[in-house]
C-alpha cells in the first residue's frame, strides 16, 4: 500500500501552477500532467467511471460494499497551486522529528521560518515535517488533500471489512484563481453532499466562507507637458490614489481578522495616461458585503463627478458566496464529520474561512460541500529573496 507521504512527494514534483490572467480552460495546460497521472492511478485502484474531461476535471466512483441504504458522499481536492509563487522544481525538505527550533529552508539564501514570526510551529514538536526550500511553494495546498483521498481509497479497497456507501471522487483545476467549480458537472458527479479536503491544521472543519467580489478599475488621465500642464493635465496615478483614499483604511486585510471583511488592492500599474487597479472585496455577512460593493460604486461616481464622466471605469463581479447559507439546512453533514473526528480523538476546530474554496461555489450549485483539514500549515516567506536589500534577507 502506498502511503500518504509517498503519494504527496510524488505529486508535488508535478508543476500545476494556475494563471489568473489566462482565459483558457484550464488556465494552464500543465495541470493536465497531474490529472493524467491521477486518472490512471484511479483506474489501477479499480474505481469505476474514472474519467478526465476536456476541462481537466477528474472524477471516479468507488461502489458501495454494503446493502445498507447510505448517502452518496463525495471527496474533492484541487490540483493547481497558487499563481503567486512558482510550483516548478519543488525540492522538499524533511525533518523526521522536529525539535522546536527555527526552520532553515535554504542555507545558501539564508532563508528561515522563525518561531518569532510563526509561534504555531511549537504545535508540531516531535513530529515529522515536510517543507519547501524557500524558492518555490511546497504544493501542500492542495496536493496533500489529493494524497489523502487517494490513500483512503486504497485503504477502503484493500480492507473490505470497512463498510461504506458509494463514494465519489473529484479533482479540480484552477481553484487558486477562483475557477475550480466553474465547469464542475454536479449532475455527473452524483453525490448527495461532499467535502473538500483543502484545509490547514489537524481538526479544521469549515463551513463559513467569505462572500467575494472582484473589481477591475481603469482610470483614464491626460498627459500634458508639465511646463504647460495647469488646468489641463489629469494624472491617472493621482486619481487612482484619490480613489483608494476614499475606501476605509482600517478595512484592509492587514487590519482585520475573524469575521471582519475588507477591501484589498491586489494590483496597481500605470502612468499618467492610464492606470489599472484590481480590488477584491470580502465579507462574511451578505448584507455588509453588498454595502461594501455599494460604497465602491459610490467612490467611482465621486471620482467621475470630480473630474469627468468616464475618467474611472469599473467592472465588478461576484466571485462566490458564504457557503453557510447552504450548509445550515443540511447541518447533519457537519455533525457527521464531527462524529468522525470524535471517534479518532480529534478536537474540531470550527472557524470562519477568510477566503473561499471550491465548496463555496459548489454549495450554491446544489452540492453542499464543507471543508476538512489536510494537516498543513501555511508559512509563506519572501520568495524573491535575491531582490531584497541585504539587511532584509537574514530573517526571511
How many other C-beta atoms can be found within 10 angstroms of the C-beta atom of residue 292?
22
Backbone φ and ψ of 267, nearest 5°: -155, 155
DSSP strand pairing (48-52 vs 129-131) = unpaired
Q: What percentage of the chain reaches a pLDDT higher than 90?
A: 84
Q: Which residues contact 116 (CB under 8 A, 6 or more apart)?
A: none
Fold of 4-208+322-390: Aminopeptidase (3.40.630)
DSSP characters over 91-155: --EEESS--SS-EEEETTTTEEE-TTT-GGGGGGTTS-EEE--SSS---HHHHHHHHHHHHHHHH
- Name the 3-class secondary structure at 362: helix
pLDDT digits (tens, 9 = 90+) for 154-208: 999 999 999 999 999 999 999 999 899 999 999 999 999 999 999 788 999 999 9
pLDDT digits (tens, 9 = 90+) for 346-369: 999 998 989 888 999 999 999 999
Domain ranges (residues) in the chain: 4-208+322-390, 211-320
How many other C-beta atoms can be found within 10 angstroms of the C-beta atom of residue 228?
9
Backbone φ and ψ of 174, nearest 5°: 60, 25
Identify whether 67 is a catalytic site residue: no
Question: Model confidence at 376, in pLDDT bands (50, 70, 90)?
Answer: confident
Give the CA count within 13 Å in the CB-facing half-sphere of 49: 14
* Cell numbers 500549515: residue: 377
80, 141, 283, 358: the active-site residue: 80
What pLDDT, on the 0 to 100 scale, is given for residue 378? 66
- Name the 3-class secondary structure at 376: coil
Q: Do 43 and 138 form a contact (C-beta atoms < 8 A)?
A: no
Question: Model confidence at 28, in pLDDT bands (50, 70, 90)?
Answer: very high
What pLDDT, on the 0 to 100 scale, is given for residue 379? 58
Domain 4-208+322-390 and domain 211-320, same fold? Reply is no
Q: Which residues contact 389 (CB under 8 A, 6 or more apart)?
A: none
How many other C-beta atoms can be found within 10 angstroms of the C-beta atom of residue 389?
6
Identify whether 49 is a catalytic site residue: no
DSSP strand pairing (167-172 vs 58-62) = antiparallel
Mean pLDDT over the full length of the chain: 92
CATH architecture of 211-320: 2-Layer Sandwich (3.30)
What pLDDT, on the 0 to 100 scale, is given for residue 383? 41
pLDDT digits (tens, 9 = 90+) for 132-143: 998 999 999 999
175, 179, 206, 251: the active-site residue: 175
- Output the nine-digit C-alpha cell for 209: 466562507
Burial 189-226 (b: 16+ CB within 10 A, else e): bebbbbbbbbbbebbbbbbbbbbbbebebbbbbeeeee
Backbone φ and ψ of 39, nearest 5°: -65, -35
Amino acid at each position: 500500500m502506498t502511503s500518504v507521504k509517498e503519494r504527496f512527494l510524488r505529486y508535488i514534483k508535478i508543476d500545476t501552477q494556475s494563471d489568473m490572467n489566462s482565459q483558457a480552460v484550464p488556465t494552464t495546460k500543465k495541470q493536465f500532467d497531474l490529472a493524467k497521472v491521477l486518472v490512471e492511478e484511479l483506474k489501477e485502484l479499480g474505481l469505476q467511471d474514472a474519467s478526465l474531461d476536456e476541462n481537466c476535471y477528474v472524477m471516479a466512483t468507488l461502489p458501495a460494499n454494503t446493502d445498507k441504504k447510505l448517502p452518496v458522499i463525495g471527496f474533492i481536492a484541487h490540483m493547481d497551486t497558487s499563481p503567486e509563487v512558482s510550483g516548478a522544481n519543488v525540492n522538499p525538505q524533511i525533518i523526521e522529528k522536529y525539535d522546536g527550533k527555527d526552520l532553515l529552508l535554504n542555507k545558501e539564501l539564508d532563508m528561515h521560518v522563525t518561531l518569532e514570526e510563526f509561534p504555531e510551529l511549537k504545535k508540531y514538536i516531535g513530529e515529522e515535517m515536510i517543507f519547501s526550500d524557500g524558492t518555490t511553494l511546497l504544493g501542500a495546498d492542495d496536493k496533500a488533500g489529493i494524497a489523502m483521498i487517494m490513500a483512503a481509497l486504497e485503504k477502503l479497497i484493500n480492507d473490505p471489512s470497512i463498510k461504506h456507501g458509494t463514494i465519489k471522487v473529484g479533482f479540480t483545476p484552477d481553484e487558486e484563481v477562483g475557477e475550480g467549480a466553474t465547469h464542475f458537472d454536479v449532475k455527473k458527479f452524483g453525490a448527495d453532499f461532499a467535502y473538500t479536503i483543502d484545509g490547514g491544521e489537524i481538526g479544521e472543519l469549515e463551513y463559513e466562507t467569505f462572500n467575494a467580489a472582484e473589481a477591475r478599475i481603469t482610470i483614464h488621465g491626460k498627459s500634458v507637458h508639465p511646463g504647460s500642464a495647469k488646468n489641463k493635465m489629469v494624472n491617472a496615478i493621482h486619481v487612482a490614489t484619490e480613489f483608494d483614499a476614499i475606501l476605509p483604511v482600517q478595512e484592509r486585510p492587514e487590519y482585520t481578522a475573524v469575521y471582519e471583511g475588507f477591501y484589498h488592492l491586489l494590483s496597481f500599474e500605470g502612468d499618467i495616461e492610464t492606470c489599472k487597479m484590481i480590488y477584491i472585496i470580502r465579507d462574511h455577512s451578505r448584507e455588509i458585503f453588498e454595502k461594501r460593493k455599494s460604497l465602491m460604486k459610490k467612490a467611482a461616481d465621486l471620482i467621475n463627478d470630480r473630474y469627468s464622466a468616464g475618467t474611472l471605469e469599473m467592472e465588478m463581479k461576484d466571485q462566490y458566496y458564504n457557503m453557510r447559507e447552504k450548509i445550515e439546512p443540511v447541518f447533519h453533514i457537519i455533525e457527521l464529520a464531527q462524529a468522525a473526528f470524535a471517534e479518532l480523538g480529534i478536537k474540531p476546530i470550527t472557524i470562519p474561512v477568510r477566503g473561499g474554496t471550491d465548496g463555496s461555489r459548489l454549495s450554491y450549485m446544489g452540492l453542499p460541500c464543507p471543508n476538512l483539514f489536510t494537516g498543513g500549515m501555511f508559512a509563506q516567506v519572501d520568495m524573491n529573496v535575491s531582490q531584497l536589500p541585504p539587511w532584509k534577507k537574514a530573517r526571511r
